[in-house]
Amino acid sequence: MLSEFDLIAQFFTRSRRQHRNVALGIGDDCALVTPAAGMQLAISTDMLVEGRHFFPGADPQMLGHKCLAVNLSDLAAMGAKPLAFTLALALPEARPDWLAPFAKGLLALADEHGCELIGGDTTKGPLNICITVFGEVPPGQALRRDAAQAGDDIWISGSLGDARLALAGYRGDIMLDDATQHTAGERMHAPTPRVELGLSLRDIAHAAIDISDGLAGDLGHILERSRTGAILDVDQLPAGPMLARHALEIRRRFTLAGGDDYELCFTAPSGKRDAVIAAASSCNTAVTRVGSIDAAPGLRLRDANGAPLDLPLASFDHFASP
C-alpha cells in the first residue's frame, strides 16, 4: 500500500526544473514564489467534486486535465499569466492505476502553460480535487468583470454548447450517435483554457469572464458588476461543431445557457475590432462578435432579423431548487 508521502513523491514531485518564479516547490511547509517585480498576483481556486462536477468512474487522465484547465481558465479570463498551482486531493484509496493517468493529464497541461505544481495536501476521503492557481498580471491590466462600458462590442472565443450537448446525450435527453457523443464529450471532459488569448487581450479588452455556467448567466455577471446592459445577437453565437447540426431551438438554448464551455466572453471598444481579430489570430483562436454593451439595464436577446427573443436564461446554480 502506498503511503501518503510515497504517493506525493511518486506522482506529484518532479525533478527540480528551473522555474524563474518558484524558489521552493513541494516538500517544505510552504512553497516560496517570487512574482516578477511590480506584478500583481492573480489567485483563483476551483474545486471538482465526484458526482457533482464529474461522473463517478470518470477517466482519470481527462479529469487531471480538466481540474487544472478550469483553474487556468480563470487566469485567462483575468489576462493573467500562469505561474504555479497547489493541489488538494481527497482520495478514497491510493491506487497507482488511477493516480498515474491523473498525474499525467494534470502535469501535461501544467507543462504546456509553464505552471508548476508547488504543493498541496493529500487525504483519504470521497474523491474531491481542489486546485489553487497563481498567476501574474501588471497592475491595472487585469480584465475585470466591472470594466465593461456602453458602446463596447461583446465577443466570444471558440464555440459554445458542445459540452452541454454531451450532457444531454449522457442523460438520454437527446439521442446522439457514438461519434458525436465522443467528440462532444471531449469538449466536456477536456476543455481548452484560453490563456494565450487572455494575455493578448490585456491592452485591448475592457471586461472578461470565462463561461463556465452558461453564457447568459456569466455575461450577466459582467453586466451587473459594470452596471450596464447588453443586446445579444443569439443567432450569431458560435455553436460547437456537434451542436451546429441540431435544430435552431436547441442551438439557441445550449449556446446561451449551456455550461462547461470554458470559452472567454469579453468586451472591447468598437474602435478596437481589428486589434481583437489580430490578437485572436496571433494565438490561433477564433473570436466572434455577438452583441454590444449599452446603458439600458438587462440582457436583451435578438434573433437573426433583429427581432426581440424571449428565451429562458437560467444558468447553473448548485444551490438553486430543481
Q: Would the CA dihedral through 21, 80, 68, 277 be positive or negative?
A: negative
Please report whether residue 131 would count as binding ligand ADP according to CB under 6 A: no
Ligand-binding site membership of 53 (annotated): yes
Among 122, 149, 288, 292, the residue binding ligand ADP under the rule CB under 6 A is 122
- Is 119 near ligand ADP (CB under 6 A)? yes
Confirm or deny that 85 is annotated as ligand binding. no
- Which option in ligand ADP, Mg ion, none does residue 98 bind, with CB closer than 5 to 8 A by kind? none
Shortest Cβ contact with ligand ADP: which residue?
Answer: 119
Burial 282-317 (b: 16+ CB within 10 A, else e): ebebebbbbbbbbeeeebebbeeeeeeeeeebebee
| Helix intervals (H) in 20-149 | 60-78, 96-112
- Quote the cell numbers at residue 275: 486589434
Under the binding rule (CB under 6 A), the answer on residue 89 touching ligand ADP is yes
Q: According to DSSP H, which parts of the chain are helical?
A: 4-7, 60-78, 96-112, 162-171, 178-189, 195-200, 215-226, 248-256, 273-282
Of the ranges 116-124, 177-185, 207-215, 302-310, which one interacts with ligand ADP (CB under 6 A)?
A: 116-124
Q: Estimate the crossing angle of helix 248-256 against helix 215-226, to 10 degrees.
A: 50
Q: Cα angle vertex 123, ends 131, 10, to 5°? A: 80
Residue 120 sits in the site that holds ligand ADP (CB under 6 A): yes
The contacts of residue 261 (CB under 8 Å, 6+ apart) are 158, 160, 161, 163, 164, 187, 191, 211, 212, 214, 215
Q: Which is nearer to Mg ion, 93 or 121 (CB)?
A: 121
Residue 79 assigned to a binding site: no
Strand partners, 89: 122, 129
Residue 26 · residue 13 · CB < 8 Å: yes
Asked if residues 258 and 173 have their Cβ atoms less than 8 Å apart, the reply is no
Q: Does residue number 27 form part of the binding site for ligand ADP (CB under 6 A)?
A: yes
Binding mask 107-146 for Mg ion (x = CB under 5 A): --------------x-------------------------
For ligand ADP, the binding residue among 1, 15, 18, 29 (CB under 6 A) is 29
Partner that binds at residue 117, options Mg ion, ligand ADP, none, CB closer than 5 to 8 Å by kind: ligand ADP
**Of the two residues 121 and 203, which places its CB atom closer to Mg ion in the complex?**
121
**Minimum distance of ligand ADP from residue 300's CB (angstroms):** 46
Contact residues toward Mg ion (CB under 5 A) are: 121
Annotated binding site, which residues? 29, 44-46, 53, 74, 120-121, 145, 210, 212-213, 260, 316
Residue ranges of the binding site for Mg(2+) = 29, 44-46, 74, 121, 210, 213
Annotated binding site for ATP: 120-121, 145, 212
Note the residues at the interface with ligand ADP (CB under 6 A): 8, 12, 26-29, 87, 89, 117, 119-122
